Amino acid sequence: MRFVLTTILAIILVLGVFPAAAATSSSWKALDASARTGCEREVTRLASKAKVSSVTGKVSGIGAANDTDRYYALVLSGKTAGFASQWLCLYDKRTRQATAREVEKP
């Protein structure tokens, strides 16, 4: 019994000393690139004359209460047929699928 208790305490101590590793800058860059590519593809699928010029906003950690980091959101700016446009895109990090909608600029 003492061995089991000691083992459990050792595991808790190790997990407490070594917290979960934060995402590296290279993993964030890879996520940004993958999300932007997927979102741009979805925007041009919605409007064939759309041209994305920049990412004007990012939001991470979107999801349901039990899954708070499933989606990554991008706000994209550009033009559609010569007119200024802005899109909101949700990128599903698990399925790598993007869903975009045009939004009004404030």
pLDDT tens, position by position, 53-94: 999 988 888 877 677 788 999 999 999 998 999 999 999 999
Write the secondary structure of 22-46 as one string of H (helix), E (strand) and C (coil). CCCHHHHHHHHHHHHHHHHHHHHHH
Max Cα distance, the chain (Å): 74
Assign 10 to helix, strand or coil: helix
- What percent of the chain shows pLDDT beyond 90? 49
Amino acid at 7: T
The residue ranking higher by pLDDT, 6 or 78, is 78
N residues, the chain: 106
Mean pLDDT, to the nearest integer, of 27-53?
93
Amino acid at 77: S
Predicted confidence band at 16 (pLDDT cuts at 50, 70, 90)? Answer: very low
| pLDDT (0 to 100) of residue 95 | 93
